[in-house]
Amino acid sequence: MSGAFRIGCHISAADGYLAMGRRAVALGADTFAFFTRNPRGGAAKQVDPADAAAFRGFCAEHDIGALVAHAPYTLNPCAKEPRVLEFARQALADDLQRMEACTPGQLYNLHPGSHVGQGVQAGIEKLSALLNELLRPEMTTTVLLETMAGKGSEVGGRFEELAEVLSRVGQKDRLGVCLDTCHVWDAGYDIAGRLDGVLEEFDRVIGLERLRAVHLNDSLNPCGAQKDRHAKIGEGCIGAQALAEVVRHPALQHVPFILETPNDEAGYAREIAWVRAVQARHA
Ligand code: FE
Ligand code: FE
Ligand code: ZN
């Protein structure tokens, strides 16, 4: 993985691995995100090892890297119900195994989950226990905890909550954080008004060395709204100018940027080109 600036978007995994790589290149991306399984369901598709191998060759050839796979939304590692927690354990274990086999050395983005009334502390303890059970030193995948909007009983809306999970997990080399611009904004971190201050706070509480990816999104709602509704770049309350400052912030040049904006492929291609232009002008 090189330290160069990378930008990409969510790519549909419906046609397999190599098709994802080709689509990413066609959009001008050099990194991308994909769901490891149906985002709102359970079952994972069977992997064709030949397709995965062809994909790895394609990525090497086209310098695609720092992939940020995304866990399904239905996976709640903080859950109260044993059945839901057991699904989280099985899906997470299975996803990590598939990442090792098909896309070694990449990133796996995980929502910390919702404590559903048990309280933040109980959620943090369940998530940490699961990570301690499943993360192994021989793994090449890095699990990223995503900063959340603080909607409902979501864990991870405060940097302190992610910091506590990080402090409780033994395999620290296998764990990092993904900063989602829409989510931190919705959680009350004013990245439009005080980006430097927010990143200093991130550094003080979590440590910028733990930041391994950025989800680049505008937000339909004002700072602190705790809604989590993504908008296209420049069509939300954060705004294009503030997001351009994020794109060219010196502390963020080493991590992959992933767009999760509500776009079709043409829209993603336009936003990727915009990010590259903004980043190159001020790098
Ligand atoms: Fe996410
Ligand atoms: Fe996100
Ligand atoms: Zn979101």
Separation of CA 32 and ligand 2 centre (Å): 13
Return the SS3 of 65: coil
Separation of CA 135 and ligand 2 centre (Å): 22
Separation of CA 48 and ligand 3 centre (Å): 30
- Ligand nearest 258 Cα, by number? 2
d(CA 245, CA 193): 11
Q: Judge contact between 275 and 216, C-beta under 8 A.
A: yes
pTM of the model: 0.97
- Ligand nearest 226 Cα, by number? 3
Instruction: Determine the Cα angle at 196 with ends 245 and 114, to 5°.
Output: 95
Separation of CA 180 and ligand 1 centre (Å): 8
Share of the chain above pLDDT 90, in %: 93
Separation of CA 229 and ligand 3 centre (Å): 6
Which residue from 283, 243, 279, 274 is spatially nearest to 27, judged by alpha carbons?
274
Summarised one tens digit per residue, pLDDT across range 109-161 is 999 999 999 999 999 999 999 999 999 999 999 999 999 999 999 999 999 99
Instruction: Determine the Cα angle at 119 with ends 71 and 163, to 5°.
Output: 60
d(CA 67, CA 30): 9
Separation of CA 253 and ligand 3 centre (Å): 22
pLDDT of residue 3: 62
d(CA 199, CA 252): 9
pLDDT of residue 166: 98
Separation of CA 184 and ligand 3 centre (Å): 10
Burial track 171-196 (b if 16+ CB lie within 10 A, e otherwise): beebbbbbbbbbbbbbbebbbbeebe
The residue that leads in pLDDT, 283 or 240, is 240
d(CA 113, CA 100): 23
Tokens of 20: 């994802």
pLDDT of residue 281: 82
Separation of CA 183 and ligand 1 centre (Å): 9
What residues does the ion ligand 3 have nearby, CB within 5 Å? 228
For the chain, report the end-to-end CA distance as a whole number of angstroms: 20
d(CA 14, CA 18): 11
What residues does the ion ligand 2 have nearby, CB within 5 Å? 180, 215, 260
Residue 244's alpha-carbon distances to 72, 259, 264, 270, in angstroms, are 29, 13, 21, 14
Separation of CA 188 and ligand 3 centre (Å): 14
Return the SS3 of 183: helix
Q: What is the mean pLDDT of the chain?
A: 96
The DSSP bridge pattern shows strands 175-180 and 142-146 to be parallel
Separation of CA 263 and ligand 3 centre (Å): 14
Instruction: Tell me 147's DSSP state.
Output: P
Phi-psi region of 188 (alpha: psi -120 to 50; beta: other; left: phi over 0): left
Instruction: Determine the Cα angle at 25 with ends 24 and 28, to 5°.
Output: 90
- Ligand nearest 216 Cα, by number? 2
Which residue from 79, 76, 106 is spatially nearest to 91, judged by alpha carbons?
76
Q: Judge contact between 54 and 17, C-beta under 8 A.
A: yes
Separation of CA 138 and ligand 3 centre (Å): 31
Q: Evaluate if residue 2 carries a pLDDT over 60.
A: no
- Ligand nearest 214 Cα, by number? 2
Summarised one tens digit per residue, pLDDT across range 224-264 is 999 999 999 999 999 999 999 999 999 999 999 999 999 99
